[in-house]
Amino acid sequence: MLFIGGKWRPASDGRVIDILNPATEEVIGQVPNASSSDLDDVLAAAAAGFATWRRTAPAERASVLDRAGRLLLDRAEAIAATLTEEQGKPLEESLAEVRQSAEYFSWFAGEAVRSYGRLLPTAPGRRAWVERRPVGPVAAFTAWNFPASLPARKLAPAVAFGCSIVLCPAVEAPRTAAALVQALADAGVPPGVVNLITGDPPRVSEHLISSPVIAKITLTGSVPVGQTLVGLSARHLQSLTLELGGHAPVLIFDDLDPDQLGRAADALVRAKFRNAGQVCISPSRVFVQEAVHDFFVEAVVERAAGLALSPLANARRRDAVSSLISSSEANIRTGGVQPEGPGFFYPPTVLTDLPPDSAVLRDEPFGPILPLLPFTTLEDGLEQANAVPYGLAGYLFTANTERADAAIAGLDVGMIGLNEVALASAASPFGGVGLSGYGREGGTESLEAYTVATAVTTKGAP
């Protein structure tokens, strides 16, 4: 399962890590635990791959990505089945994720030929321009909650703009990422351009980042891991893109009528509990204006109570969710009890009447926990919404344009949904502020993330 220099191979010392099905807790496979020798090999492969790929015409890079995207669509059902088995989300969600990954490949195929620089005004007899050059070999670390789309969001721009990449997927769900790498290999990406490593995360990250071969680091993961990688990058001052935790606020305003509140509740419950709440942009703190608070709470409880959720990713996540709820000092309106039997399941849990210092309001839940609280004025709602150090996503539901504009201006987050909960797309920049990280992936902003600007000034012969 290690993919180094265009070839699949086991770990050099034969060590492996078990992969569990989170719905049954059964071992469904194993993944290599890369050795130091394997990591040295992948660094050498990435350096060689970059030397070739950076000189490859953008049109050829685009063709490879386009072919890989079409291969993903052809293989979508099989990849989705693997994704569901190792990560746990419903098959319908897995299939949508694989198709979104194909969209990243095809969208960045178009961007590969649009990595424009610019001409600069100069004095007579001189010329000056800025060109975009690939940043270099990339070390990419991805989380387990979206094992197809998170790797795709890093693979696609790296390949498009001439970088080589060492992809390090989460060991909980690595086979999905391997399917993406295989699609790129089958599409004709040269050896060493795309590589895949699995193993003990702290050891792998320290080994890769300590090497001067790696020019860029991109992480989708937790805040503590992001802080660790920032420290590791200090020696060689690598470029960093960090998409870390989120604790997304939602503002529900009192200008909505009962039908509109019902539709908002539908959207909120759907967004909150997909993938069992294991989504970094998941709504996780809901502030409801006082006049409609009780009505909206009942609407949410009614919709959440009947949901059957997919499992959490592992026992650690289930225990963390259970601990947050037990310490919340809240009124548990539905859920809150871990079911018996195999699998890391936890029911949708709606909380009200929380004390302002509750850990649920401070710490990212990353699970099926939905707290609802009242607010009075717009200013009060924004103060509560911005009261945490995270700033990834935020949502608001209102029919009043003036309120919407003021709330959008006042939310300190990187992405905002107005009467909408679907934020991620290939064409849109994804990222946050504060402890949610910095830098953007997706959209034309990826050009800045995966290239460097080189300024050139010329004049005639000396």
Separation of alpha carbons 106 and 124, rounded Å: 42
3-state secondary structure of 68: helix
Q: 């709602």: which residue's tokens? A: 381
Beta bridge partners of 178: none
3-state secondary structure of 415: strand
For residues 226 and 379, give the distance between their C-alpha atoms in angstroms, rounded to a whole number: 32
Rg (C-alpha) for the chain, rounded Å, is 23
Q: For residue 171, which amino acid is it?
A: V
Of 342, 415, 411, the residue nearest 378 (C-alpha): 411
CB atoms within 10 A of CB 87: 28
Instruction: Find the catalytic residue in 86, 103, 172, 243.
Output: 243
Crossing angle (nearest 10°) for helices 174-186 and 76-87: 160
**Please, what is the end-to-end C-alpha distance for the chain in angstroms?**
56
- H-helix segments, 289-419: 290-305, 315-326, 359-362, 378-385, 401-410
CA 149 – CA 177 distance, rounded (Å):
9
Q: 321, exposed or middle or buried, with CB in 10 Å at 0-12, 13-18, 19+?
A: buried
Q: Which helix (H) or strand (E) holds 71?
A: helix 58-74
- Catalytic residue, chosen from 280, 364, 383, 441, is 280
Tell me which residue of 418, 452, 380 sits closest to 132, measured CA to CA: 452
Residue closest to 216 by CA, chosen among 460, 451, 461: 451
What tokens were used for 187? 């599409």
Q: What are phi and psi of 294, to 5 degrees?
A: -65, -40
SS3 of residue 348 by DSSP:
coil
d(CA 336, CA 139): 39
Q: Which residues contact 21 (CB under 8 A, 6 or more apart)?
A: 27, 28, 85, 86, 88
243 is catalytic: yes
The angle formed by the CA atoms of residues 107, 113 and 114, to the nearest 5 degrees, is: 85
DSSP-assigned letters across all residues of 282-316: -EEEEEEEHHHHHHHHHHHHHHHHT--PPPPSSHH
Q: Which two tokens stand for residue 332?
A: 């548990």
Cite the active site residues: 243, 280
